[in-house]
Structure 1
Amino acid sequence: MKKKVVVAIMAASLMMAGCGSLAGRHNIDSGFAYIESHDYNSALESFAAAEAKEEDECLIHRGRGIIYLETGRYEEAAEELLASLAADEGIVDDMDFDTNFYLAEAYYRLGEYNKAKEVYDAILGLRSRDSDAYYLRGVCELASGNHDAAYSDFSKAISLNSKDYSKIILIYKSLAEYGYDEEARNILQTALDNGSSFMSNYEKGQMSYYLGNNADAQNYLEAARNERDQEKEPVVLLLGQTGEKQGDYNYAMSVYKTYLAENPASAVVYNQLGMCQIKQGDYNGAISSFESGIAVDDKGVNQSLRLNEITAYEYLGEFAMAKSLMETYLADYPDDDKALRENIFLSTR
C-alpha cells in the first residue's frame, strides 16, 4: 500500500446534527472540541464520560472512530464507525455520508480496498455527482492495480468540478505516486491551460510548482504573497519549497523568516525553517526554530516538531538531551514506529 498517496478526510466538519437528540450531550460536545484541537486523549476521556452518562451512542462511536482513524488504529476506527452508523436510526443525512467517508478511509488504510470501494459505491448510489467520492474511489482503484477504472473516476471527478484545483493536484499526486507521471502532468497542464484566465496567482503557482516550472512558480507565488486577500501561510510554504527544491536553502529560509517576523504563531513554518537549518548544518538554529514552533502549541504539528528537535540534538552530538526528549516523546506517542527505531539507535550512544 502506498502510504504517500494523499487521501483527505472528506467533509470533516465534525458536525453533530442527525444522531439523536440535541439535549444532554455536554461530554460529546467537549469530545469533538478536543478532536478539533488534536487533543485525542482528552477527547477519549470525554466520550467515556458521555457513555457513562448515556449520551448519544451514535455520536460517541463516531467520535471514537475519528480519533482512532487519526491515530492509526484503523481496525478499531472501522468498528466504531460501523457502530455509529448502526446506532443512527434517523433518515440518511449529511452526517451519515460524512461517517461513511471516514469508514472508507479506515478500510483504505487497512489495505481493504474492495471494502472501501463498496462504501464509495454506496455513496455514489445516493449522490451520483459527489466528486469527492469519485476521486477517493479512484485512489482505491489505483491501489488495487486498476488503472483504467481509476482514471475513469478521476476524469469524472474533474468533469464535475473542473475548477477544484486542490483536488486536481491530489489526482496528480496519486497518479505520479503510482508511476503514471506523464498522465499526471497532462492533467495538470490541461487544467492550467484551460483555467489560466481565471486562476488565482496561488493556483497558478501550485500548478507550475508541480509541473517543475520553478521560475514561473516563484513569480506567481511572490505575486500571491503580496495580495491582500490571499491566505499567506500556504503560499509561503510552497514558495519556500521552490527554493528547497533547487537547493537554495538561503532563499527558502529568508521566505520563512520574513513570514515569521510578522506571523510568529505559525508552528508549521517554524518546522519547515528548522528542517532547512538542519540541511544547512545549523543545528542550534534548527533547535531554536523547533522550540519556537513547539511553544505555539499547535497540536497538529507538535509531534513532528518534537521528533525533528530530537533529530537536531542527535546531529549536534548531544545524545543525552536527545535520549531525554525521546523518553518524553514516546510517553506521548508510544505507537510511532519510526521513533521506536530511532530510540534503539539512541540507546547505543
Structure 2
Amino acid sequence: MLYRKMAKTIMLTAGLAMLCGCGPALKHGNVDSALLHIQNLEYDEARESLEAAEKAEEDVHLLSRAKGILYRNLGDYDNAVTEFLKSLASTDGIARDMDFDTNYYLADTYIKQGKYAEAIQVYDAILGLRKKEKDAYYMRGVAKLYSQDHDGATIDFNKAITISPKDYDLRIMIYKALSANGYEDEGAAILESCLNNVDPNMTNYEKGQISYYLGNNADAQSYLELARNERDAQKAPIVVLLGQTGEKQGDYNYAISVYKTFLAEDPNHPDIYNQLGLCQVKMGDYDNAVSSFEAGLSLGNSEYHQSLMLNEITAYEYAGNFAQAKTLMEKYRKAYPDDADAIREEIFLSTR
C-alpha cells in the first residue's frame, strides 16, 4: 500500500509501499530554519520560515513534511495528515530513511485522531518494505490494542521480540502498553520470562529495570546499586531508576540523596533534575523544587522541556503562588497548545 495521493488514493504497487525521497541538491534553507524553530518551540517563527520557504519555492517534499510536523505539534491533526500525505506524494520513487520517518509521523498523527485502522495501514506499508522493522511491529501492536484487536497486537509484539530478543527496553514498552490497556498480567509474564530464562549477558541495569517494573523494589535496588558502581556503565539512567525505587517505597529522602549525589558530579541531566524536583514537591519543599525544575530547564533540552515546565507550574500552585503559575501556564500553552489537560488547568488558574 502506498500513501502518495493526498487523501484520495492508496495506490497498489506490487503489494509494496513506495515511500518517497528527495534529491541531494534541492533548496531547503528556510525549511531547515523552520525545523529548528519547531525544535525550540518557536512556532510563530516556524510559520514565518515556512511562508518564506513557500515564496522561495523550496522543495515541496521537505516543506510539506515540516508543515506537517508543525501542525502536529500544534494539535491541528487534520492539516498535519494532509501535509504528511502531500510530502509522501512528491516522490522520486526511492524510499529513504526520512520518508520512513514521515510515515511514522503520519501513523502517530492518525493514532492521536483515534484513526487506528489508518495508522495500521501505514505500519503495514512500512513493513512491506522493511520486514524486520521492530518499531513498526511494536507500534502496529499498540494501534491494534487501541482498536480492541488484542490477538493481533499479541502477534505483532511477539514478532518485535523475535526480531530483537535481547532488547529489554522493547519488552518494557510492551509491558507498559499491555498494562495501560487492561492486560497487566500478560505484560508481567513477558518481563518475568526475561528473569526466568536469564541471558548470561544481561546487565545488572537490565535486571534492575525488569525487577523494578515487576514491583520487586528490593531486588531492583540491589541490581541498580551494583550497576551504579560498574566502571563503564552509563550512570544517568541507572540513577533515575535507582531513585525511583526509593520513590515507589515512599522513601523520598533516599531518592533525593541519590539524585543530588549524582548531580553534584554531573549536572547536565534535565531528567534527573526533574525527578529531584518531583521528590521535593512530595516533601513539601516547593522552593527547592522550583529551583530544580529551573535548573533542568536551563539546560535547554527539548526532550524534557515540557515535563519540567509543567512540573514547575505545579510546584508554584502547591506553594500558593497562583500568579506565577498562571504566567508560566500562558507560556506553556503557547508552546504546547495540544495539551488538553493544560487547557483545563489554565481555566482553574484563571479563577485564582
- Give TM class, smaller chain: 0.7 to 0.9
Any residues of structure 2 matched to 1:1-349 within 5 Å, and which?
18-36=21-39, 39-349=42-352
- Check conservation: 2:41, 2:335, Cα contact below 8 A: no
Q: CA RMSD in A?
A: 2.2
TM-aligned CA deviation for residue 172 of structure 1: 1.0
TM-aligned CA deviation for residue 51 of structure 1: 2.1
What secondary structure, in the 3-state scheme, does the structure 2 residue paired with 1:301 have? Answer: helix
- Check conservation: 1:185, 1:211, Cα contact below 8 A: yes
What secondary structure, in the 3-state scheme, does the structure 1 residue paired with 2:145 have? Answer: helix
User: How many matched pairs?
Assistant: 333
Alpha carbons of 1:69 and 1:198: their partners in 2 closer, same or farther (altered >3 Å)? farther
- Structure 1 residues 175-184 or 317-326, which shifts more? 317-326
Distance 1:269 1:342 in 2: 25
- Check conservation: 1:20, 1:56, Cα contact below 8 A: no
Distance 1:197 1:187 in 2: 18
Q: Which runs of 5+ in 1 are unaligned?
A: 1-16
Per-residue deviation, residues 50-84 of structure 1 (Å, max 9, x unmatched): 22211111011112223333443322221111011
- Check conservation: 2:30, 2:52, Cα contact below 8 A: yes
Alpha carbons of 1:37 and 1:233: their partners in 2 closer, same or farther (altered >3 Å)? farther
Per-residue deviation, residues 290-346 of structure 1 (Å, max 9, x unmatched): 222222232332332222222222222223333333344444444433233223222
What secondary structure, in the 3-state scheme, does the structure 1 residue paired with 2:197 have? Answer: helix
TM-aligned CA deviation for residue 285 of structure 1: 1.6
Distance 2:338 2:123 in 1: 29
What secondary structure, in the 3-state scheme, does the structure 2 residue paired with 1:69 have? Answer: helix
- Check conservation: 1:20, 1:88, Cα contact below 8 A: no
Per-residue deviation, residues 227-266 of structure 1 (Å, max 9, x unmatched): 3332222221111111111111111111111121122222
Relative contact order, higher structure (CA 8 A, sep 6+): 2
TM-aligned CA deviation for residue 199 of structure 1: 1.2
Letter in 2 for 1:326: M
Alpha carbons of 1:38 and 1:266: their partners in 2 closer, same or farther (altered >3 Å)? farther
TM-aligned CA deviation for residue 174 of structure 1: 0.9
Distance 2:151 2:137 in 1: 13
Distance 2:206 2:156 in 1: 23
Letter in 2 for 1:206: Q
